[in-house]
Amino acid sequence: MVEAVIFDMDGVIIDSEPLQMQALIEAIKASSGVELTPQALGWTTGRGNAEVWQRLRELYPIAWEQEKVRAYQLEALFKLMDTSPLAVPIAGILPLVRALKAKGIPMAVASSSSLSIIDKVLDKLALREYFTLIATGDEVPASKPAPDIFLLAAQRLGCKLEGCWVIEDSYNGVTAAKAAGMHCIGFYNPHSGEQDISAADCRITHIDEAMGILGLEG
């Protein structure tokens, strides 16, 4: 039985992975002079802010002014979200959340992104009304692939772990969902890079396919 559906955001609700990457690259270059490529930063997909910054310091031992870099990154990202053709709901998301709402199934966003970014996305895409709550990576001790963020979302939803279904597009996200004891739908998103989502209970190439898996058709 589907008691609740928990959505990752980046790469599931919006194709923001390329935007996040571009903004991070611009912020690093502006603050440190280090020029990186999307390939060099592919490991950041699905990881929390604290883990990303810790590893950046290890890989590039320069004097990071983290708050300054982060502020620049957010400014660059918000500009991209206001102008990029990618800043729209991923195909199939609107019919899915509308069908879930019609069935009275609660939905949550559980994302490693900060609350300010999640708020920006939900407001820009006019999706806030569909989600009962938000859980962010900043609120838990360990980021994905640890299960913490999904356990927090389930606790706030008041749902049993086995009744929760998660939609994820990354290896870290799928691993976290399964570690939490939840069902997981793995979404192959080409913009999320090479992600191993084979551990998911079901794997889809289009969000519309989740309708049948979740019992929303017919």
pLDDT by residue (tens digit) across 38-88? 888 878 876 767 778 788 888 887 777 777 888 888 898 999 889 888 899
| Res 39: pLDDT | 84
- 218: pLDDT confidence band, cut at 50, 70 and 90? low
d(CA 161, CA 75): 37
Q: Are residues 59 and 102 in the same domain?
A: no
Q: Is residue 218 part of a domain?
A: no
Please check whether residue 71 lies inside any domain of the structure: yes
Task: Identify whether residues 113 and 76 lie together within a single domain.
Answer: no
Tell me the pLDDT tens digit for each residue of 160-178: 999 999 999 999 999 999 9
Is the distance from CB of 6 to CB of 108 less than 8 angstroms? yes
Give the DSSP letter string of 62-124: S---HHHHHHHHHHHHHHHHHH-TT-SBPTTHHHHHHHHHHTT--EEEEESS-HHHHHHHHHH
Residues 43 and 55 sit within 8 Å (Cβ to Cβ): yes
Clarify whether residues 53 and 108 are in a common domain: no
Closest C-alpha among 122, 91, 114, 215 to residue 163: 215
Q: Are 58 and 43 in contact (CB under 8 A)?
A: no
Q: Which domain holds residue 127?
A: 4-15+87-213
| Residues 199 and 153 grouped into a single domain | yes
Same domain, residue pair 160 and 182: yes
Number of domains in the chain: 2
Are 54 and 9 part of one and the same domain? no
Contact 41, 20 (CB under 8 A): no
Positions annotated as catalytic residues are: 8, 10
Last residue of a domain, one of 83, 103, 129: 83
pLDDT of residue 192: 84
Select the more confidently predicted residue: 2 or 1.
Answer: 2
Domain containing residue 198: CATH number: 3.40.50.1000
Sheet architecture: strand order including 183-187: 133-136, 107-111, 4-7, 164-168, 183-187, 202-204
Neighbours of 73 (CB within 10 A): 22
Same structural domain for residues 119 and 197? Answer: yes
